[in-house]
Amino acid sequence: MEFTEKKCRAIYERERTNIEKKLKSLLINKNPKSLYNPCSYILESKGKRLRAFLVLLSAKAVGARYSSVHNASLAVEILHNFTLVHDDIMDNANLRRGLPTVHIKYDLSTAILSGDNLIAIAYQNLLKDTKEKHKDVLSIFTQGIIEVCEGQSLDKEFETKSKVTIEEYLQMISKKTAALAEVCCSIGAILGGGSKTEISLLKNYGKNLGIAFQLQDDLLDVFGDEKEFGKIVGGDLREGKKTYLFLKALELSNGKDRAMLNSVIKNNGVKKSEVASYKKLYEKLKVIEITAEQVEIYTKKALNSAAKIKDEEAKALLIWLANSLTKRNK
Amino acid sequence: MEFTEKKCRAIYERERTNIEKKLKSLLINKNPKSLYNPCSYILESKGKRLRAFLVLLSAKAVGARYSSVHNASLAVEILHNFTLVHDDIMDNANLRRGLPTVHIKYDLSTAILSGDNLIAIAYQNLLKDTKEKHKDVLSIFTQGIIEVCEGQSLDKEFETKSKVTIEEYLQMISKKTAALAEVCCSIGAILGGGSKTEISLLKNYGKNLGIAFQLQDDLLDVFGDEKEFGKIVGGDLREGKKTYLFLKALELSNGKDRAMLNSVIKNNGVKKSEVASYKKLYEKLKVIEITAEQVEIYTKKALNSAAKIKDEEAKALLIWLANSLTKRNK
């Protein structure tokens, strides 16, 4: 069978639909409703389900069936949704995937509590696919949560820190975004019975894909299509977020340009009307090309790992996924 | 050796000191500090460490050494501290163990995030004492977190619900307080290599002790010594909390008394100056005796289980603990 782009997308959509269905039925009949309605609300708001898909692909990559890690794939997706609920509180975000965030639709207490509950539900699902020989899967998953918390903590630190280096930024996104992608690939490969080499290959794929994904996200904030991306374009600039583009621009600028960038830090962001002038500055400093190049470098690393996978279907899908994420506009 | 009250207290204090020391050294050198300082702050604020002690005693009860479950005992204590951090946000509490709560000393985001991180750190410690044959320990621990979240959710529901039955109240505290005590005893007994009968005995001990503990807490709120108890006496009344005493009083009252109690619900609490008149009403309706009797019933159930434990030291300590919790004034 040839794995054309169309075929790859069809498999992804099939698995995504399957994940959506399983997430929908997961908490039916659970009580109290004051806890489970908000949990279902976030789990059922449509997402890309990339993390779950990574678990499935990694198991397939080492010769297992998708179905052997379905519960584990739900676990990482549930864990990811916990981070969304709590991050949205911390970021004062009102909308997520076009819907009111949990603390807005319900209230703060409900959002905290349903996030907490989702962590436990994630473990509960992971344990369903974890045989006794797989104790390390639980350690990796647990370490993943710690890294995500550390990453989010660094991200919050950066908000008020005047000097952040590119290296610190990369460390932050490695923890906040890439760690969980790495965890997905590791546990998929371990549960699927992969060899050490295979596990390491997939782990590497996940990590690099995660970094590329986040850098691409930074790019999309400035150059994405507002409707397609689902977020306000220039939102990072308006909030004064120290993204890769911003930090690179700061590094490469001097004189008036540098002062203009420093004023973003000083004022904790820019006005809507100022976004365009910063876009122009980014263009002048070539930070768009530089960031795009970095996305390409990390994507290539992921592709190199994927190329060594034996299973034809998983290999094709891992390659398709990395390429389509780089080219995405949302 | 005879296990006098003095001897029992000495063993408890020795183990408590040991737990405090381990909690203190647990997160040293961890970064980022913005995440780990608040985690250490809550872990190092002195507590009774009852949950950790229950794990130790349950392992000893089935013939294992205390040291074989030290990490698991830290795990339940860390988990308990996570609930404190998040509950304090939900309850708008400014003080905990005489110190500012985490969201007051730091901020909301930090409190949410450090609570989340503590869940993962709890698992990390539990995994250290969990051999491959102990997979059920992780399921029990996970189920415990879910029950605690469900219990807290019911507790929050009750705040705005006008009709709460005694049965609903008991279900709520079974989840919010007793479930974790039960988990402590179960995992201590399982990790210690206990038989099914032993595990079931200890589980029963933990559950009943937990319920007795919470009912005693409800009593202490009205009749405790403010300085000893560390909380404002009558605080539950002032906040309009639907405690066992309150619900029992409502059940047994009619006419003017009932109207007086209903006004607590209507007004979401009472004024400081009104607390004394409600105390009198409680005395008149004999809800103090009734609650104290319930504390005794649940304590007796716990004691009956403890009496069947073979290990003399653990048995003596489990009995001593149940008796001293009932007689506590803080």
Supply the pLDDT for residue A13.
97
The DSSP secondary-structure symbol of A177 reads I
Using CB atoms, which residue from A113, A121, A149 is nearest to B120?
A149
The burial class, CB within 10 Å (0-12 / 13-18 / 19+), for A6 is: exposed
Closest CA to B127 of B200, B57, B74: B74
Q: Is B121 in Cβ contact with A146 (below 8 Å)? A: yes
Encoded amino acid at A328, one letter:
R
Which tokens hold the place of B54? Answer: 């229950």
Q: Is B127 in Cβ contact with A139 (below 8 Å)? A: yes
Supply the pLDDT for residue A288.
94
Supply the pLDDT for residue B226.
60
**Taken in order B179, B181, B187, B190, is the CA torsion positive or negative?**
negative
By a Cβ cutoff of 8 Å, what residues of chain A touch chain B? Answer: 31-32, 34-35, 82, 86, 89-90, 108-110, 112-117, 119-121, 123-124, 127, 130, 132-133, 135, 138-139, 142-143, 145-146, 149-150, 152-154, 156-157
CA nearest to A132 within chain B: B132
Lowest mean pLDDT among A45-59, A103-117, B226-240: B226-240
Using CB atoms, which residue from A89, A121, A157 is nearest to B32?
A157
Supply the pLDDT for residue A228.
57
Q: Which of A27, A112, A138 has the most B C-beta neighbours within 10 Å, making it the best mutation to test the interface with B?
A: A112
pLDDT at position B193 over 80: yes
Greater model confidence, B97 or B293: B293
Looking at the domain B5-327, which fold is it? Answer: Farnesyl Diphosphate Synthase (1.10.600)
**Domain residue extents for chain B:** 5-327
Lowest mean pLDDT among A204-213, B112-121, B130-139, B260-269: B130-139
Tokens 């807490």 locate to B217
B173 within 8 A of B166, measured Cβ to Cβ: no
Number of other CB atoms surrounding residue B268 within 10 Å: 12
Supply the pLDDT for residue A171.
97
Supply the pLDDT for residue B33.
97
Q: Which residues in B lie closer than 8 A to residue A121 (C-beta atoms)? A: 146
pLDDT at position B150 over 80: yes
pLDDT band at B19 (very low <50, low <70, confident <90, very high): very high
Q: Is B89 in Cβ contact with A32 (below 8 Å)? A: no
pLDDT at position B79 over 80: yes
Using CB atoms, which residue from B135, B139, B156 is nearest to A132?
B135
Supply the pLDDT for residue B114.
98
Q: Which residues in B lie closer than 8 A to residue A146 (C-beta atoms)? A: 117, 120-121, 124
Using CB atoms, which residue from A34, A130, A157 is nearest to B153?
A34
B190 within 8 A of B137, measured Cβ to Cβ: yes
CA nearest to B85 within chain A: A112
pLDDT at position A100 over 90: yes
Give the contacts of B220 (CB within 8 A, at least 6 positions apart).
B229, B328, B329, B330
Radius of gyration of the CA atoms of chain B, in A: 20
Q: Which residues in A lie closer than 8 A to residue B108 (C-beta atoms)? A: 89-90
Supply the pLDDT for residue B10.
97
Q: Is A121 in Cβ contact with B116 (below 8 Å)? A: no
Smallest Cα distance from B124 to chain A, Å: 6
Indicate the average pLDDT of chain A: 94
Using CB atoms, which residue from B113, B116, B149 is nearest to A113?
B149
**Coil, helix or strand for A47?**
coil
Smallest Cα distance from A42 to chain B, Å: 17
Q: Is A117 in Cβ contact with B139 (below 8 Å)? A: no
Indicate the average pLDDT of chain B: 94
Using CB atoms, which residue from B32, B153, B156 is nearest to A153?
B32
Interface A-B: count of C-beta contacts within 8 A: 133
Q: Is B116 in Cβ contact with A86 (below 8 Å)? A: yes
pLDDT at position A230 over 60: no
Number of other CB atoms surrounding residue A299 within 10 Å: 22
CA nearest to A133 within chain B: B132
- Distance (Å, whole) CA B17 – CA B49: 9
Supply the pLDDT for residue B200.
98
A127 within 8 A of B138, measured Cβ to Cβ: yes
Which tokens hold the place of A84? Answer: 């969304």
Q: Is A133 in Cβ contact with B130 (below 8 Å)? A: no
Smallest Cα distance from B37 to chain A, Å: 11
Give the contacts of A64 (CB within 8 A, at least 6 positions apart).
A191, A192, A193
User: How is domain A5-326 classified at the architecture level of CATH?
Assistant: Orthogonal Bundle (1.10)
Using CB atoms, which residue from A31, A120, A154 is nearest to B32?
A154
